[in-house]
Amino acid sequence: MKYSKKWTSLFLASALTLSTVSIATPQVQAEEVKKPTNVIMLVMDGSSNNAITLSRWYKGESLAMDEILTGAMRTYSAESAITDSAPAATALATGHKSNDKFIGVLPSVVNSPGLEQVAKEDAFRPVANVLEGAKQQGKATGLISTSEIQHATPAGFSAHVNNRSQYGDIAEQQVYQNIDVVLGGGLESLSPGTTKNARKDGEDLLNVLKEKNYALVKTRDELLNSQGSKIWGSFAPSALAYDFDRAKTRASEPTLAEMTEKAINTLKKDEDGFFLFVEGSKVDWAAHANDTIGIISDILSFDDAVKEAIDFAKEDGNTLVVAVTDHGNSGITMGNINTTNTYSSIPVSAYIDPLKKATMTIEGALGQLKEDQSNLVEVAALYGLDNLTEEELTTLKSAKDLGSEMVKMLANRANIGYTTGGHTGEDVFLYSFGPSKITGLVENTDLAHAMAKFMGFELDKLTDELYIPAKKAFTEKGFTTKVDVTDKENPIFIAQKADVSITIPVNKNTMVYKDASMNTSKTYTFDTINVYNGTEFYVSKKVLDTIQ
């Protein structure tokens, strides 16, 4: 990738050597790599090592992840020791650390030790991700999430925007990326409407998906019965239910393991191989809420999906599986203020037995609460809070935030501690399996480069091909250019030279070429997307190669 002279090698594939901390270069296992290569990347958003330990004790046996533990990963962003999901996803997908809220673009602020500054003109520049690289290699691609598919982490592997809240742009880019299998929530962002994340640009992307010959599925049964090679599953307006709640509240939704298995079985038919991204999203949501049951629920659900990936990789022999969390969250611990002087004699059962009484997460339990709270005792029992004392019942009845009081109460009964309702900055476990598996203590950016190398491409070179500043490129071809933002929801890049006019819409994979002298108009379709960051339009080399 050609950056300005001020731009230095900010994000290396090898681990950084900081002024205060020395990190070893990650070790890649040198096994024979045959073709086609496959990569399955799984992220349990907002988990932590302590949460995994607790989930293992809760399950009562080893996790699938335990079998493939190979190292640890650093998670800090370009500006903070504690990252948000957007820059974390950007690092994992593109090999570049970035800033809070940024998705698939370079940072504007760099102040973490050991990192070089980014030139002002390079800030917000889109950078290619591993899913795009796989697609350019002719591989099938897939994207799965238990949140909205437009949420920060899946967006990091499929879109390029300045702010993770730009659901409309993210959804449009995902549709026009022509990803083969997309499964998760986020139905409301595909069509116009009045809800928070409904489309504001007037475009109904469900119609676009039909035109692109996707099998559109909205239930578990429809998914499992689908036979198409292109599947778009939207199983909820926003996020899917927690796994512990699903059977009681939304039985029509598939599990994460079922979505993973279906995606693998669909994508593996491509003779060039595939790339699949899978996110267990709501571990993070539960951690923010300090909901111990929610955390365990979706870590175990995620682990089931990891097992699907491992089982396939063992059979296939040439699939790289990488599983990791993008950052810690909540500071969860087995042991709290109650155990300060007694920890050495407290059995496992003292932590686990109180948790086993819960049958739903806090979200699920509160969903059963009547408006007049007349069933408060029953709802508390759903969350494991049985045999309430008078003091506990009084606390719940007078609570301004009932959920907050309930999660505190159960954590206290189970001797579970929390330090925050936000993210945390610790190193996290790294899991890897297959040829070129990754070992050691690594940077989050290393994973993107390792996956790209295994699939046979370089991310920086790919960025040079996919995201070229359009104004400069078209000016060099003799065109005058402008960005038409008359419709702020649908900016258009326009280039004019004599009788030839070219229009390039934002977020799509098309270009319209008109020649007035010949009274002709042609629409070109590409396997790349057009991106606008509010200042500059970016197009691919394939777009420019069609221009005379």
Query: What are the residue numbers of the active site?
Result: 85
Quick one: tokens of 505? 């819409």
CA dist., res. 161 & res. 531, Å (int): 8
Closest residue by Cα to residue 184 from 257, 237, 252, 233: 233
Closest residue by Cα to residue 396 from 365, 421, 417, 352: 365
H-helix or E-strand containing 156?
helix 152-156
**How is the chain split among helix, strand and coil, in percent rounded to 5?**
35, 20, 45
Asked whether the beta carbons of 439 and 25 are under 8 A apart, the reply is no
Q: H/E/C letters for each residue in 76-108?
A: CCCCCCCCCHHHHHHHHHHCCCCCCCCECECCC
Relative to beta strand 428-433, strand 319-324 is antiparallel
Cα 53 to Cα 65, 66, 334, distances in angstroms: 11, 10, 9
H-helix or E-strand containing 419?
none
Nearest 5 degrees, angle CA 294-CA 298-CA 299?
110
Q: How many CB atoms lie within 10 A of CB 341?
A: 7
Asked whether the beta carbons of 105 and 94 are under 8 A apart, the reply is no
Quick one: tokens of 249? 């509240």
Closest residue by Cα to residue 540 from 518, 524, 521, 520: 524
Cα 272 to Cα 226, 244, 269, 383, distances in angstroms: 22, 37, 9, 47
Strand-pair partners of 333: 417
Strand-pair partners of 520: 515
